[in-house]
Homo-oligomer: A and B are copies of this chain.
């Protein structure tokens, strides 16, 4: 199983519309990826390790696929549409990472 993680760094003065992200952007990604998408989560940053400290990321999405190839095949055809929607909810440049789920 591989995990595609999208991180939104918590920059001073930046905006992130979690309502739009959950109600529009993520459902669009889910629809476009179809059955290739095996699960995942959307996380909203609360704090760093100390209560009240700033979290490193204002939001993260973690999407599970069977393989890198399955992700590329599902996402590749729709990458332009998905990226074009980003300015509708944030002005943060997301960081992408592909990981192998080890446990």
Q: What residues of chain A have their CB less than 8 Å away from a CB belonging to chain B?
A: 2-3, 5, 7, 18, 22, 26, 41-49, 51, 55-57, 60, 62, 68, 95-103
Contacts and interface: CB of A to CB of B under 8 A. Distances in A.
Contacts of A3: 41, 43
A56 B45 CA distance: 18
B51 A102 contact: no
Contacts of A95: 56
B103 A49 contact: no
Contact of A60 (B18, B47, B55, B99): B99
Contacts of A7: 56
B56 A2 contact: no
